[in-house]
Structure 1
Amino acid sequence: MTDKELVEKAIVGDDDAFLSLMLTHKEALYRTALAYLKNNEDALEAVQEVTFRAYEKIHSLRKPEYAKTWLIRIMMNYCRDVLYKQKRLLLDEDFIMQQGISEDYTYLEVEEALRQLTDDQRELIHLKYLQDVKIKEIAEMTATPEGTVKTRLYKALKLLRSFIVEKGEIRRV
């Protein structure tokens, strides 16, 4: 059975098809949650909550071929809600040292650079480069022309590059 057929069965109420759909995409959902929430337990809870939300709304999925994108979008919205409620604190170097985390700051520098982007730009980078969603699918998902998506992606990458280059120059001094 193809992925599209599986989704079509899930839409009409086949619970086994829905379960198979979720199992197929659970890794992508987990990685998305982990990228946003930075915590294994919170990410697992997010996958559970998104599974429930998707089950309730699967009948509203209009294009079965975009089921993965639809699920990831639900996850991203859920994670944003969680982060908003938690009003997450930014980690500083003293806190990191207290936690015994190694001195490899590459990951933190990338996170810091991503925080310089708007939510929409961060979402676009996440979809394109972490979830490998095609520009055409992003355009359809956001009801935005493909050219606009490409332009926004280009601008977001340019901002990331300039921030990382600027940080690199500060460190070298």
Structure 2
Amino acid sequence: MFGQSLLKKAQKGHQKSFLQLIEVEKVKLYKMAYVYMKNENDALDVVQETIARAYSNIKTVKEEQYFSTWLMRILINTAVEMLRRNSKVILLENELGDTQSAYLPIEEKLDLLTAIEQLEEKYKTVIMLRFYQDLAVKDIADFLNCPEGTVKTNIHRGIQKLKKYYEGGKVSEQGY
């Protein structure tokens, strides 16, 4: 994965080492940010803010094996924070998106990311961490500071909502 010396150098302020660490993670960061923000510019803003926060706090990483998880946690927190700040704008975009989705061809409706984007935040997060970041349930529970049972339940419910989406129904906010 990462050489310990690379992380240690980054922690001592070596910018090139930090950039090498980020280079490995940048695609995953962008994909996750895009799922949350739903547009390229906001996703890039989240990634940029995440990298700035990571650079400022790199010394808090205790072990190299947790760097990727640590970075993803910063990204998710940054994305959620930006969404809360811009909640009125995001709600308007969601309403427009719902109207437009009725006219999308069937091929686009079958796009998995489109379905995931419609999930509530708690389901979206666990689905992305489990299936896109390939984290184990225990790691997700540690990452989100919640019980493993909650993670399992949210993964199950998220999958059920995705199944409903593919069966022709929309992913709804009320129950499953």
| TM-score bracket for this pair, using the shorter chain length | 0.7 to 0.9
Q: Which residue of 2 aligns with 1:137?
A: 139
- 2:109 alignment counterpart: 105
Larger radius of gyration: 1
Instruction: Return 5+ residue gaps in structure 2 as ranges.
Output: 171-176
What is the match of residue 126 of structure 1? 128
Instruction: Classify 1:112/1:9 alpha carbon distance in 2 versus 1 (closer, same or farther; 3 Å).
Output: closer
1:163: Cα distance to partner?
5.3
Query: What is the match of residue 152 of structure 2?
Result: 150
Q: Is the 8 A contact 1:4 1:65 kept in 2?
A: no
> What is the CA distance between 1:27 and its match in structure 2?
0.7
In structure 2, what is the Cα distance between the partners aligned to 1:16 and 1:106?
41
- 8 A contact 2:110–2:166 mirrored in 1: no
**C-alpha distance in structure 1 between counterparts of 2:142 and 2:116, whole Å:** 27
129-138 or 75-84, which deviates more: 129-138
Distance, in Å, in 1 between the alignment partners of 2:101 and 2:149 is 41
1:12-48 CA distances to partner (integer Å, 9 max, x unpaired)?
A: 3332211110111111111111111121222222221
Measure how far apart 1:109 and its partner are.
6.1
1:95 and 1:166 map into 2 onto residues whose CA distance is 16
Question: Residue 2 of structure 2 aligns with which residue?
Answer: 3
TM-aligned CA distance change 1:11 to 1:139, over 3 Å: farther
Alignment correspondent of 1:161: 163
Q: Which residue of 2 aligns with 1:69?
A: 69
How many residue pairs match? The answer is: 161
1:37 is matched with which residue? 37
Task: Give the C-alpha shift of residue 124 in structure 1.
Answer: 0.7
Q: What TM-score results when the alignment is normalised by the length of structure 2?
A: 0.74
Change (3 A) 1:78 1:13: same
Identity value in percent = 32
> Residue 26 of structure 2 aligns with which residue?
26
- Aligned equivalents of 1:146 and 1:96: distance in 2? 34
CA contact (8 A) 1:29 1:75 kept: yes
Ranges in structure 1 where 5+ consecutive residues have no aligned partner: 169-173
CA contact (8 A) 2:25 2:68 kept: yes
| More displaced 10-residue stretch of structure 1: 140-149 or 55-64 | 140-149
Quote the residue 1:55 is aligned against. 55
